[in-house]
Amino acid sequence: MSLKFGTSGLRGLSTDLNGPAAAIYATAFAHYLMSSGQAKPGDPVLLGRDFRASSPDISAICAGALTRAGLTVLDCGPVPTPALALYGLEKRAAALMITGSHIPADRNGIKFYRPDGEIAKADEEAISTLATGLMAKPAGIDAMPGPAADHARQAEALFLARNTAILPAGALNGLKIGVYQHSTVARDLFIEVLAHYGAKVVALGRSVDFIPVDTEAVSQATIDRLKAWTAKHKLDAIVSADGDGDRPLVSDETGLPLRGDLLGLIAAQFVGASVAVTPVTSNSGLERQPDLSILRTRVGSPFVIEGMLKAVADGQTGVVGFEANGGTLTATDFTLNGTTLKALPTRDSFLPALAVLFLAARSHKPLSVLAAGFALPVALSDRIENFPLETSAALMRYLRSGADNLATFLAPIGTPESVSDIDGLRVTLMDRSVVHLRPSGNAPEMRCYAEAETADQAKRLLEQGLKCIRAFGQHYGSR
C-alpha cells in the first residue's frame, strides 16, 4: 500500500485505501485511543466525509472497523472538516474525516482527531506502528461495512450557529458575493451563512463530479472561471474552499484570488490576535505587520498546532495560526460581536472568508484595494505534479550537500544570500527576492514558491524555479 501520513492526515490512492487498509487504520486508531486512555469501549467516535466517489465506501468500512473495535460510530455525513472537529470538541469524541482535501479525485485520505482536537506527529507515529502490526496478522482485518447513527444535522447546526454569530446582523448588506460551489462540502453552508449576513449570493459552478481545488496554487483554468463570473455577475467577491472545506478561496472583484496568508493575516487582525503561528512558506512580509508577533513552523497543521500550544503554554494570549493555503486555526477563545468564539485548533475556511468580507463591507473598499494596502511582497506558488518522490528526495539531497550545488542550481535565477532549512529550502537571493523549493508531504509533487517586489518579477522567478526543477527531474530520470 502506498499510504503515508503527510502534512495533514493519511493520504494515498483511493484504490489502496478503499478496502482492508481503511479498516486497518481505523482499527489502529481505535486501539490507540483506548490504550492511551483517550476513549473506552462504547464511547462515541465521529465520521465525516467529502464528496469524492470513494469516500462513502471508505467511510462505511471505517464505521464497521470502529464498531468491531468497541466504539459507537456517529455518522456526520458530508461535512466540512472544521464542522466535524467542532462537533468532536463539543461531544468530547474522537473523529475521522474521509477526505483527500485538494488532491486529485483518484486519491483519498483520512484525517484523525482525538477528543481534544487534531492529532500530532507523535500520534501519527503510534497509529502507524499499530497499523503495521495489524497488517502482519495472518487472519487479516475484516473490511465489512458497519452501522452508524445519523448525526449530520447536529454537526451542521453547531457549525452554522458558530458562523452566524461572528459578525453583526446585516454585516454584509450591499455586497454581491459569488459562491464557487464545485464539489466542496462547504458549498451550501457558505450560501446560508453569507445570506444570513445580508449579502446577495450567486451560486456558481456546482459539480456532481469531484473537482480538486488547491487554494495555495489556484490553477489558471480556475482563475479564468472566477474572472468570467465576476465580470458577468458584477460580483464584489467570490468565495469557495477545497474539497473538505478547511482551506478558503476568496477572489477580489476582478476574480483574482487573494493569497491565503493574507486571508489568515486579516483573520488574525479581525479577532484581535497578538500571536500568529504560520509555516515558513507564508509571506515574509508578515513580520512587518504591526501589533502581531509571527512564529514560524514547518509546513502542516500539526506543526502549526504544536507552535500554538507552545505559545499558550508560554503564557501568550490571543493566539491564532494560519497556513499559506488560508486555513485559519484558533488556539484561544476570542470575544466577537459580544459572544465567545471558542478555540478551534484546526484549519477553518469560514473565519478568514468572513473576516475579509466584513473588512470590505465596513471600509466600503474593493478587495483589490484592501489587499494592496497591506503592501506585502508579491508571492506566487505552483507545483509540478507527477514528480516522483524519489526524484524530489534526490533533488533535496543534492541541494543540501553543499553551497556550490545550490549556487549552480540557482545560477539561472540569482545568487543566494541566505538559506532557511526549516521545511524544504527557502533561499533569499541577493536582490531580496525569495525562491522556496519544497517536496509535497503527501503526494508525488514538487512545490515552488516565489516572492518579489512586483508581480512580473515574482512570476518570472516562479517560472524559472519550476524550469530548474523540471530540468533536474529530466536529467535524473534519464540516468
Q: What is the DSSP letter of 258?
A: P
* C-alpha torsion 65→69→74→75, nearest 10: 0
CB 193 within 8 A of CB 166: no
Cα(220)–Cα(388) distance, rounded to whole angstroms?
Answer: 23
Angle at 330 between CA 76 and CA 303, to 5 degrees: 90
Q: For residue 425, give the nearest of 415, 433, 412, 436 by alpha carbon.
A: 436
Catalytic: which of 8, 55, 59, 101? 101
Collapsing DSSP to helix, strand or coil, 18 comes out as coil
Q: Which single residue is written with the C-alpha cell 507527477?
A: 386
Residue 412's CB: how many other CB atoms inside 10 A?
11
What is the DSSP code string of 144-201?
-----EE-HHHHHHHHHHHHTSSS-TTTTTT-EEEEEEET-TTHHHHHHHHHHTT-EE
User: If you count them, how many residues does the chain have?
Assistant: 479
Q: To the nearest 10°, report the CA torsion of 276, 280, 282, 288.
A: 60
> Active site includes 101?
yes
Q: Decide the pairing of beta strands 334-336 and 339-341.
A: antiparallel
Three-state SS letters, 99-137: CCCCCCCCEEEEEEEECCEECCHHHHHHHHHHHHHHHCC
Distance CA 8, CA 368 (A): 31
Q: Are 208 and 78 in contact (CB under 8 A)?
A: no
| DSSP SS3 for 53 | coil
If one counts every other C-beta atom within 10 angstroms of the C-beta of residue 279, the result is 24
Judged by DSSP in three states, 265 sits in helix
Q: Which of 231, 287, 236, 228 is nearest to 258 (CA)?
A: 236
Assess contact for 370 and 359: CB atoms under 8 A. Answer: yes
C-alpha cell at 151: 448525526
Residue with cell 541541494: 399
Give me the active site residues, please: 101
